[in-house]
Amino acid sequence: MQKIKLNDEIIIIAGKDKGSIGIVTKMVDSKVLVEGLNLAKKHVKPNPNKGVTGGITEIEMPLSISNVAVYNPTTKKADRVGIRTSKKGIKERFFKSNDKSIA
């Protein structure tokens, strides 16, 4: 079981967007794509066959998992995540600071 998953609300703890909160949209190996964060400018050539206009566009770049942490809405801070087995035998993730499970 992973500590960070798709659609998790995360906070960036290192880099140019430090302190920003976003939602994970894609997982790539040990990197994550966060919605609307870590943007880079890309120069795009026009392609009339595909209907692409040229110019400068902003695209989301992947962040290393080590630079993000799960955001805890009750404490409004970054938090560490633990994994435990419930009484029914199901694995669940929980916040280490206040021992509440992650929805």
Q: What is the pLDDT of residue 100?
A: 84
37-76 pLDDT per residue, tens? 999 999 999 999 999 999 999 999 999 999 999 999 999 9
* pTM exceeds 0.85 for this model: no
- The CA-based diameter of the chain, rounded to the nearest angstrom, is 60
Alpha-carbon distance 85 to 7, whole Å?
22
The residue type found at 56 is I
The alpha carbon of 61 is separated from its chain's Cα centroid by a whole number of angstroms, namely 11
Tell which residue, 9, 1, 12, has the closest CA to residue 65.
Answer: 12
